[in-house]
């Protein structure tokens, strides 16, 4: 028997965590998770409360299978370790390396001052903080992350490995970020499968390969698929052209270019395009500053895994033109280095976190240039409601940054073509590649669980998948904490 409890990403986009309980023929139980990520949408107090809540007994958990290293997929693993989880964690090698960076960053994310503010708001949080970590009062600390890393066991794509004598796992390239995987879980004795998409990537992205289609699993009973962009299709990808236009216009008027960027995947992709444009002579060779210690660490991981690159970047490297390494690219590690670049008269490009401008070094640079109409702010990612990035996109006359109000004079642009998620067409194609191998005579079609989406996205995908596949599939949109029996 196999059951699943939806402990995250159910009727919301973040917090991926599936708790599965397998009962063998002899009655013994094996408990494992697919992902254990943080919820990231909501105010600080509610996020702390929900992220600190674990719906199962961590000491009884035997294993975790991790799809990729984004915070909303790996961010709560050290919390489980803190609460007594002592099993193994399975992932690709690149996922392990990036997850270590992400989890260490998360361990520092809520400082003691911020925690004090939270604990003053509610006794419930004060009590849970004491239970969570007596050393710091955080969800977890660097010690928990270090203990977490000791539990990792890594596998390449298409390695078939056992997490239990009767349960086999295989990773497929999800094409989302470096090392990301879709997961096929098989009961060895019967051949039955369940498949998790993880986060599926967009096609034709630089650096990494496109998402891999999964086929030849005719005994698939359940598919867990993300639906982040399930209701829409992406425009034709031309981010490089848009960057060229904005950068050239800004340089012509002697302005600076600021690019707030997420540290994992997006910063490296932006560098790839900008360096390629410079090498092709389509923009001027001006200084590029990567002002994000976390992004620079991730860049090093990317450079260490050329075996995961797509054909385009491999060809560039073969011709000694690696677009992730360039004489004009400087990595800024210290705060003093970061401060030193403001006030320069020459045009330059500054890439810094955080991606939504709700913290990080980008705020210091933005305060310096936000009232400069010659400069440009290029937004290359999603801006959640309530963030500084969203307020700028909504063209408010004044915006508050770190307690001070500034006139919004900087020219701001949004480039939508940088999405790292598959669109509706790609999601349907991925699911269809699995379903087409299931015999038509099967009277019990596979169930597709609709995950990582809000109402519009889920309903849009549901409508399209049934239009394409009809009665070949069933769909279900689970609730948070709901338990479903997968196999009897």
Contact 473, 463 (CB under 8 A): no
- Looking at residue 344, its pLDDT comes to 83
What digits encode the pLDDT tens for the residues 229-282? 999 998 876 899 999 999 999 999 999 999 999 999 999 999 999 999 999 999
- Looking at residue 116, its pLDDT comes to 36
Same domain, residue pair 206 and 83: yes
Same domain, residue pair 227 and 360: no
Same domain, residue pair 334 and 196: no
Q: Which of 388, 418, 448 is the last residue of a domain?
A: 418
Query: Of 107, 130, 110, 133, nearest to 47 (Cα)?
Result: 110
Residue 438 maps to which CATH number? 3.60.15.10
pTM of the predicted model as reported, rounded to 2 decimal places: 0.91
Same domain, residue pair 408 and 426: no
DSSP 327-372: TTEEE--SHHHHHHTTT-SS--EEEES-TTSSSSTHHHHHHHHTT-
- Looking at residue 124, its pLDDT comes to 36
- Looking at residue 47, its pLDDT comes to 79
Query: Of 286, 276, 289, 366, nearest to 324 (Cα)?
Result: 276
Same domain, residue pair 211 and 65: yes
Q: Which of 371, 401, 418 is the last residue of a domain?
A: 418
Give the single-character DSSP code of 233: -
- Looking at residue 119, its pLDDT comes to 36
Same domain, residue pair 435 and 314: no
Same domain, residue pair 433 and 453: yes
Structural domain count, the chain: 2
Task: Beginning with the edge strand found earlier in the chain, give each strand of the sheet holding 288-291 in spatial order.
Answer: 329-331, 288-291, 349-352, 257-260, 376-379, 411-414
| Tokens at 132, concatenated | 């969570």
Alpha helix segments (H runs only) across 239-287:
239-252, 266-279
Positions of the chain with pLDDT lower than 70, given as ranges = 42-45, 109-137, 237, 441-443
Residue in the block written with tokens 């849009």: 460
Same domain, residue pair 46 and 167: yes
Name 280's Cβ contacts closer than 8 Å, sequence gap at least 6: none
Instruction: Provide the domain limits for residue 306.
Output: 239-418
What is the C-alpha to C-alpha distance for residues 6 and 107, in angstroms, rounded to an integer? 25
Q: Which of 401, 418, 435 is the last residue of a domain?
A: 418
- Looking at residue 48, its pLDDT comes to 82
Same domain, residue pair 258 and 347: yes
Four-CA torsion 92, 417, 350, 278, nearest 10 degrees? 90
Same domain, residue pair 406 and 454: no
Same domain, residue pair 71 and 214: yes
| Tokens at 296, concatenated | 């620079």
Contact 295, 353 (CB under 8 A): yes
Same domain, residue pair 15 and 67: yes
């Amino acid at each position: 028997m196999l059951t699943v409890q939806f402990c995250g990403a159910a009727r919301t986009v973040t917090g991926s965590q599936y708790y599965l309980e397998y009962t063998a023929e002899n009655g013994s139980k094996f408990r494992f998770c697919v992902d254990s990520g943080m919820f990231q949408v909501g105010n600080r107090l509610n996020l702390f409360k929900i992220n600190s809540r674990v719906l199962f007994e961590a000491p009884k958990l035997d294993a975790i299978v991790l799809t990729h290293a984004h915070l909303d997929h790996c961010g709560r693993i050290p919390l489980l370790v803190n609460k007594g989880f002592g099993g193994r964690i399975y992932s690709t090698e690149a996922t392990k390396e990036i997850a270590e960076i992400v989890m260490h960053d998360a361990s520092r994310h809520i400082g003691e001052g911020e925690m004090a503010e939270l604990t003053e708001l509610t006794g419930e949080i004060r009590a849970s903080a004491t239970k969570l970590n007596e050393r710091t009062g955080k969800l977890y600390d660097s010690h928990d992350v270090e203990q977490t890393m000791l539990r990792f066991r890594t596998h390449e794509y298409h390695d078939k490995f056992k997490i239990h004598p009767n349960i086999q796992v295989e990773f497929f390239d999800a094409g989302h970020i470096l090392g990301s995987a879709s997961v096929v879980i098989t009961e060895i004795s019967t051949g039955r499968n369940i498949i998790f998409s993880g986060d599926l990537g967009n096609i034709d992205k630089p650096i990494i390969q496109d998402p891999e289609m999964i086929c030849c699993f005719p005994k698939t009973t359940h598919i867990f698929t993300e639906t982040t962009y399930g209701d829409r299709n992406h425009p034709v990808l031309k981010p490089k052209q848009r960057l060229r236009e904005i950068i050239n216009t800004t340089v012509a008027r002697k302005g600076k270019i600021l690019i707030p960027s997420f540290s994992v995947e997006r910063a490296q992709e932006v560098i790839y395009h900008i360096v390629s444009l410079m090498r092709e002579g389509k923009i001027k060779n001006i200084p590029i500053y990567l002002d994000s210690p976390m992004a620079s660490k991730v860049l090093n991981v990317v450079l260490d895994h050329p075996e995961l690159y797509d054909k385009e970047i491999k060809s560039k490297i073969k011709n000694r033109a690696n677009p992730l390494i360039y004489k004009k690219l400087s990595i800024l590690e210290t705060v003093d280095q970061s401060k030193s670049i403001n006030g320069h008269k020459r045009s330059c490009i500054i890439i810094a976190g955080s991606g939504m401008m709700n913290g990080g070094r980008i705020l210091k640079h933005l305060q310096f240039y936000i009232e400069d109409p010659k400069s440009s702010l290029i937004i290359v990612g999603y801006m959640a409601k309530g963030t500084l990035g969203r307020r700028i996109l909504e063209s408010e006359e004044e915006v508050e940054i770190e307690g001070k109000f500034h006139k919004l004079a900087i020219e701001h642009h949004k480039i939508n073509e940088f999405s790292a998620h598959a669109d509706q067409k790609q999601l349907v194609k991925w699911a269809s590649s699995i379903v087409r191998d299931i015999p038509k005579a099967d009277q019990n079609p596979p169930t597709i669980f609709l995950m990582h989406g809000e109402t519009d996205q889920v309903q849009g995908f549901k409508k399209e998948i049934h239009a394409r596949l009809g009665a070949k599939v069933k769909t279900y949109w689970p609730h948070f904490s709901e338990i479903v029996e997968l196999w009897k």
